[in-house]
Amino acid sequence: MTPWLAYCDGSAVPNPGRIGLGAVFTEPDGTRHTLSHAARESGCNNEAELRALLATLHELKLRGADTLRIHCDNSVVVEQVGSRTARPIPRLAALFDEARALLDSFDQATLVWIPRHRNAEADALARAALGLDCDRVVKPAGKRRQRNA
């Protein structure tokens, strides 16, 4: 069975601060959907990433997905959700438990880590949910060459 594919990302601005959630998911037939909204809660970057994963899982459940592969660029989230023996983060333990239970509710669900540069669209959606100009935020300021007059 062909899985739904999802890419999710969260953003906390400042860190900790307001949380934006973003996701891109594709149905087995190729139909694409996006998710972009600000969370009611504020928190750190790990909480933002975890809340983005939860929002994505809830949306996929509502759309009737049963087999899925989710991509996340936060190694802490992937490690914590994927391993029941990972050293817990007490403040986020209930959210990690919720994510594990939700993942287990699908027929087949895989959560994989990807490098940040492969998650640019979900990142842009998370930042857009906070009203941030993605070009201004994502691109680092470089040194400019000075011209001699």
The verdict on residue 140 lying in a domain is no
The verdict on residue 34 lying in a domain is yes
Question: Would the pLDDT of 138 be above 70?
Answer: no
The verdict on residue 39 lying in a domain is yes
The domain tally of the chain equals: 1
% of the chain with per-residue pLDDT over 90: 83
Buried (b) or exposed (e) across 107-143, using 16+ Cβ within 10 A? eebebeebeeeebebbbbbbbbbbebeeeeeeeeeee
The verdict on residue 138 lying in a domain is no
Q: Give the model confidence (pLDDT) of 80-95 as tens digits.
A: 999 878 888 999 999 9
The verdict on residue 61 lying in a domain is yes
Q: Name the pairing type of β-strands 17-26 and 32-43.
A: antiparallel
* Domain coverage including residue 47: 4-133
Give residue 135's pLDDT.
56
Q: What is the pTM of this model?
A: 0.88
CATH number of the domain encompassing residue 9? 3.30.420.10
Q: At 102, list the tokens.
A: 């939700």
Task: Give the HSE-up count for residue 4: Cα atoms under 13 Å, Cβ half-sphere.
Answer: 29
The verdict on residue 11 lying in a domain is yes
Q: Name the pairing type of β-strands 4-13 and 17-26.
A: antiparallel
